[in-house]
Structure 1
């Protein structure tokens, strides 16, 4: 299909002068300003097959992540995971750090730590970034500079050291991410955040097979009404909305990225009837799957 040709899935080996990939490793790191100067591959809509962390210390800009536009501002730390749709927008004087890594790089040492335990790597409705306070930004800046120094020095066991730095960085982000989610809730409601986080993990794992709130409530040992109430309190949406949004997000990703027909994509999402998939999609997007596919190409190609 000609309107699919502008979309690419970027491999980590395609990144700028990736010394680690050339050595058979799956990690890269650089300064944000160097990446933007050296590479234009992210200027069109694309998908990553790796994780990307981006810290901004100066400048401003915009980027598209899963069909939503986000401002790129100083003190903002972005966290992206494989499969997300991404494109760079305008940017002016951006400086900071970029880290790219694959699941294999992380789990080689932390094989008991599932990357999906980090809330920012399995959510479709929370923001894909953290706004750091001045002390937090200073701490992150110090850690990232230490990582970059280790990256360039390549001394003995430097890969192990980088994995340790990465683990610390992700757990710090997890702490700040939960603090933000909990800050707007009364103290006695903060356990609700953990329930919603587990619900999101289950959706991520099973949204193709399970579409009903009662299925997830049963897995969580809750009643459907209670699960709906908790989701409404924490994120302002019902449990059913969160399930539908994840199905819709995957449908849009596939319509943009996958060359299969609409009927084949619907079947891959366990819609037995293509006409039902079309009605479902149009109800929540306002466009048919075919119209959405063409509109995205027109807006983001060239």
Structure 2
């Protein structure tokens, strides 16, 4: 737990000079209370303005931009710090498909900022209270913050409609896709897994996102390929095997067809690009 300004001050010119994409292994949650923050999440530059929150989740590829005038709380936490019951309640917003930039309702903004400041104060209070009490307070404040943020009226997880539950066909498909995208690549595979017809699954996906189920499957595989080639620096052969392609040539055709670049060209571009 820190602040954006302290993080930039403590790290001098790293990691934004030179900018290098890396894969997040923690949750990065930043509340911008002044100025503007620019940050790449999965190769898309996000602009986070005053009153908004940036949430980078484990598995996302991120790249820092040079520090600007952004100010605000910076919360870094591991996925397993949340209690199981709270983790279930937060599942729609901790999922990798949830939006990176969140704009809570104005009536929640002041409360969220205050809770973030209380969390920062407790983080800095190490030694002031018994250690078990200190850890319990930090987790309680973090869970309160996340629950309020996740349930602010203006927050709707990506790919869902207001009031939609995770028990619907599309929600179950998203969950299954995240678990099985490496080995299951056909719409029929997921329809069988979910106990519905291909037509029902395709209609649910299109109603929720405007895209077909096959397009969503390909997008998830492509996203993982970009993460591994760019942030993790895997070889094309290793990525192909990891994503279930029969050989690197098939993976190369898939990747070029969706990006216009070969895996090698994409890796080279990522290594030399700057925000």
TM tier relative to shorter chain:
0.7 to 0.9
Q: What is the aligned residue count?
A: 267
Residues 238 and 176 of structure 1: is their aligned pair in 2 closer, same or farther, counting only changes over 3 Å?
A: farther
Q: What is residue 72 of structure 1 aligned with on the other side?
A: 48
Residue number among 182, 185, 199 corresponding to 2:173 in the alignment:
199
Q: Report the Cα distance in structure 1 between the residues aligned to 2:175 and 2:162, rounded to whole angstroms.
A: 24
Task: Choose the corresponding residue for 1:63, options 21, 39, 55.
Answer: 39
TM-score, with normalisation over the residues of structure 1? 0.79
Match of 1:37 in 2: 9
1:237 to 195, 199, 211: 211
- Does residue 1:100 correspond to 2:73, yes or no? no
Q: How does 1:53-202 map to 2 (within 5 A)?
A: 53-106=29-82, 110-111=83-84, 114=87, 118-124=91-97, 126-154=98-126, 155-156=129-130, 157-176=133-152, 179-181=155-157, 190-191=164-165, 194-202=168-176
Gaps of 5+ in 1: 1-28
Distance 1:278 1:55, change over 3 A: same
Matched residue, 1:255: 229
Q: What's the TM-score, normalizing by structure 2?
A: 0.86
Q: Taking structure 1 as reference, are residues 244 and 255 closer, same or farther at Cα in structure 2, changes over 3 Å only?
A: same
CA drift at 1:143: 1.0
Q: Name the residue aligned to 1:279.
A: 253
| Match among 175, 183, 188 for residue 209 of structure 1 | 183
Shift in Å, 1:94? 0.9
**Contact 1:193/1:234 (CA < 8 Å) preserved in 2?**
no
- d(CA) in 2 for partners of 1:285, 1:116: 36
Report if aligned partners of 1:42, 1:88 keep a CA contact under 8 Å in 2.
yes
1:92, distance to aligned residue in structure 2 (A): 3.0
Q: CA deviation at 1:171?
A: 2.3
More displaced 10-residue stretch of structure 1: 262-271 or 126-135: 126-135
Over aligned residues, Cα RMSD in angstroms? 2.7
How far is 1:129 from its partner?
2.0
Kindly provide the CA deviation profile for residues 205-248 of structure 1, in whole angstroms up to 9, marking residues without a partner as x.
Answer: 11101111222223333222222222222222222121111111
SS class of match (1:99): strand
Equivalent positions of 1:213-228 (< 5 A) are 213-228=187-202
Distance of aligned partners of 1:179 and 1:116 in 2 relative to their CA distance in 1, 3 Å threshold: closer
Higher share in strand = 1
By how many angstroms is 1:178 displaced? Answer: 8.1
Which of these residues, 240, 244, 257, is aligned with residue 266 of structure 1?
Answer: 240
